[in-house]
Amino acid sequence: MPEKFTRDHRHERVQAVERMRLRQQEHDEALAVVRQFNAVASSGGRVWSWPTVAAALASKHYWLVVVCDSCGTVVDLDLRVKRRDSDASVRVALTDVMCPRCNGHGRPRIIGLAQWPSI
């Protein structure tokens, strides 16, 4: 009776470890980009580069914090709710934001990305 072919499971484990290492490296790079963006945006400086939606989601900063320049109302927008192009900047989400107090007449401005919504 012939023996059954058995695959060596070490190869699968090596691939799984490599995938986990790459995922962790992507997370660390995205987190560095988001932290730099938050530092510049919260200080009121001019933002020269915007993180992508993919970087925000990879770093687990799902919430876009937007303030209305007219009335000062702060609104949180969950980036996971609506599908967006992952290569687009987080700025594309501003088209979905309308100030509830100004009824859309204020100018929304992104002040940062957060892991949790503000209370």
pLDDT tens digit sequence for 73-117: 898 999 999 999 999 999 999 988 888 888 878 888 899 999 999
Show me where the domains of the chain are located: 10-114
Kindly tell me if the per-residue pLDDT of 31 is higher than 70.
yes
Rounded CA-CA distance 57/35 in Å is 13
Name the residue with higher pLDDT: 9 or 89.
Answer: 89
pTM: 0.76
Cβ(110)–Cβ(53) below 8 Å: no
Contact 34, 59 (CB under 8 A): yes
Among the listed residues 79, 65, 78, the one whose alpha carbon sits nearest the alpha carbon of residue 108: 65
pLDDT tens for each residue of 36-60: 999 999 888 888 889 999 999 999 9
